[in-house]
Amino acid sequence: MEENGNRGGRMVKKRQDEIAGMTYSAKTTYGRFFVTINKQDGEPFEVIPRLGKPGNMVRTLLENIGIQASILLRTSFIDDDGKDISLERKKAIFEDHFRGVRDDNPFMYKQN
């Protein structure tokens, strides 16, 4: 694993020049939502959400959330046993951090 180095006790994995991923889409109350999840070394590494047209406030917020998720995924956090925390623990940290964040038009799937 190539790393950018130690940043305050954390190791940040370097992004390879080419990585593969999958794009998922769904209808939402804001229009069509797309999210690409790229993997590196078999693990989720990068999250790229897209919603609406450029300049849209919600799109901008989602892009920033994607950046935060990507940083969390590519950073090694060492637990008390000296091991990198699990992907499940990283997901729980992310979910706890954003739980309850919403606006007056909740982002949700439209019913067909």
Residue 50, both tokens: 């897209």
Residue 88, both tokens: 């499940």
Q: Residue 6: which pLDDT band, with cuts at 50, 70 and 90?
A: low
Q: Give the DSSP H or E segment for 95.
A: helix 87-98
Q: Is the dihedral of CA 112, 105, 47, 81 positive or negative?
A: negative
The answer to whether residues 29 and 105 touch, using CB atoms and an 8 Å cutoff, is: yes
The residues, ordered by sequence, that sit 6+ positions from 7 with a Cβ below 8 Å of its Cβ are 75
Residue 28, both tokens: 């939402």
- Interval 10-26: pLDDT, tens: 678 889 999 999 999 99
- Interval 62-103: pLDDT, tens: 888 899 889 888 888 877 787 778 888 888 888 888 787 766
Residue 105 has pLDDT above 70, yes or no: no
| Cα–Cα distance measured from residue 11 to residue 4, given in angstroms and rounded to the nearest whole number | 7
The residues, ordered by sequence, that sit 6+ positions from 72 with a Cβ below 8 Å of its Cβ are 90, 93, 94
* Domains in the chain: boundaries: 7-98
